[in-house]
Amino acid sequence: MPLLEIDDVCVTYGRGNRFLRRADTSHTAVEHVSLTAERRQIVGVVGESGSGKSSLAKAVVGLIEPQSGEIRLGGEVLPLKRPVEVRRRMQMVFQDPSSALNPSLTVGQAIVELLRRGGMDRTAARTRAAELIDMVGLSSSTLDAKPMALSGGQRQRASIARALATDPEVIVADEPTSALDVSVQATVLNLLRGLAESLGLAVLFITHDLGVVRRLCDDVAVMHKGRVVERGPTAAIFEAPADPYTQQLLASMPTLSRRTTC
Ligand code: ADP
Ligand code: MG
């Protein structure tokens, strides 16, 4: 059984608000999406801006409620209102790491705070924070820095360290490298790959960038207008895309030879 199962999920905006209940104001951003991710697997979700990727990501981690469908973790159906112990099993990494790192706290304080909320005492939390910062390839002095004092790549690593503080089984990363320079991007992608392997994480990796998908993802789902139009092993889809939209996306990637693997 896959660790994460997204089953026929729909996300609609503009419903439930009595001032916005007219039919023309409700908008379905995600339509009947089904996807799975196994432990140690990185599943890419790729599509152009507005295709529903972030809405899907937020529904998976419980930041928004899907209109219909089911999300299962380890075979267990997750309730719409997620209890805190369920929320800790899935963490989201955002494009902008300052969404996760409070600018007024040091990186160490932000990580320790989350560990303490999970019931750890201060000494154990400090030790664990040092381990986590090491796991993401940062030096222990980073713990004493405020997020704004770090480079973009360091800040994203620190936000990943914080995400790992709850010992999640699933990471949903929404364009985590899109704001980074290409050379820095590669190091963060390598980090995510290493963490998926060493911690047995299932990673849902959201991006508009096909180059990143090809480099990182085992499987890929192509989203278009809220639907998954094609899904399968990345190599197979890059080699022989079946859906016209996927073909069009791949054709618009002139700088990358589709047949080269890396
Ligand atoms: P992506 O991440 O692929 O760019 P989004 O999930 O952000 O796509 O958006 C999908 C669609 O849902 C878009 O048409 C967007 O305008 C709409 N949308 C996103 N968030 C909201 C919201 N909070 N309220 C209403 N519509 C939204
Ligand atoms: Mg988005």
Lowest mean pLDDT among 16-20, 72-76, 197-201: 16-20
- Please check whether residue 33 lies inside any domain of the structure: no
55 CB within 6 A, ligand 1: yes
Structurally, the chain folds into a number of domains equal to: 1
- Ligand 1 atom closest to the CA of 11, numbered from 1: 12
Identify which ligand lies nearest to the alpha carbon of 45. 1
Average pLDDT over residues 58-62: 96
Residues having C-beta closer than 5 Å to ion ligand 2: 53-54
- Please check whether residue 227 lies inside any domain of the structure: no
pLDDT of residue 260: 46
Residue minimizing CA distance to atom 12 of ligand 1? 29
**Tell me, what DSSP letter sits at residue 78?**
P
105 falls in which pLDDT band (50, 70, 90)?
very high
- Please check whether residue 36 lies inside any domain of the structure: no
Query: Quick check: 78 pLDDT over 50?
Result: yes
117 CB within 6 A, ligand 1: no
Average pLDDT over residues 53-59: 97
Tell me how far the alpha carbon of residue 20 lies from the centroid of ligand 2, in angstroms: 23
Query: Quick check: 258 pLDDT over 80?
Result: no
Higher pLDDT, 152 or 99: 152
- Please check whether residue 213 lies inside any domain of the structure: no
Query: Quick check: 2 pLDDT over 60?
Result: yes
Residue minimizing CA distance to atom 24 of ligand 1? 13
- Please check whether residue 2 lies inside any domain of the structure: no
241 CB within 6 A, ligand 1: no
Rg from Cα positions in the chain: 19
52 CB within 6 A, ligand 1: yes
- Please check whether residue 151 lies inside any domain of the structure: yes
128 falls in which pLDDT band (50, 70, 90)?
very high
Residue 140 to residue 106: CA distance in whole angstroms: 12
Tens digits of residue pLDDT in 170-212: 999 999 999 999 999 999 999 999 999 999 999 999 999 999 9
253 falls in which pLDDT band (50, 70, 90)?
confident
Give CA separation, 224 vs 36, 49, 140, 256, in Å: 18, 9, 42, 22
pLDDT of residue 97: 83
Look at the chain and count its residues.
262
Residue 249 to residue 247: CA distance in whole angstroms: 5
Tell me how far the alpha carbon of residue 13 lies from the centroid of ligand 2, in angstroms: 15
Tell me how far the alpha carbon of residue 67 lies from the centroid of ligand 2, in angstroms: 19
- Ligand 1 atom closest to the CA of 208, numbered from 1: 3
Domain enclosing residue 154, as ranges: 90-167
Identify which ligand lies nearest to the alpha carbon of 46. 1
Query: Quick check: 49 pLDDT over 80?
Result: yes
pLDDT of residue 100: 86
Query: Quick check: 83 pLDDT over 60?
Result: yes
Kindly give, in sequence order, each residue whose CB lies less than 8 Å from that of residue 3, ignoring residues fewer than 6 positions away.
37, 38, 39, 73, 74, 169, 170, 202
Binning the chain into helix, strand and coil, the percentages to the nearest 5 are 40, 25, 35
252 falls in which pLDDT band (50, 70, 90)?
confident
Residue minimizing CA distance to atom 14 of ligand 1? 50
Identify which ligand lies nearest to the alpha carbon of 223. 1
pLDDT of residue 23: 54
20 falls in which pLDDT band (50, 70, 90)?
low
pLDDT of residue 262: 44
Identify which ligand lies nearest to the alpha carbon of 17. 1
- Please check whether residue 162 lies inside any domain of the structure: yes
Query: Quick check: 22 pLDDT over 60?
Result: no
pLDDT of residue 123: 97
- Please check whether residue 261 lies inside any domain of the structure: no
Tell me how far the alpha carbon of residue 29 lies from the centroid of ligand 1, in angstroms: 6
Query: Quick check: 224 pLDDT over 80?
Result: yes
pLDDT of residue 14: 85
pLDDT of residue 99: 81
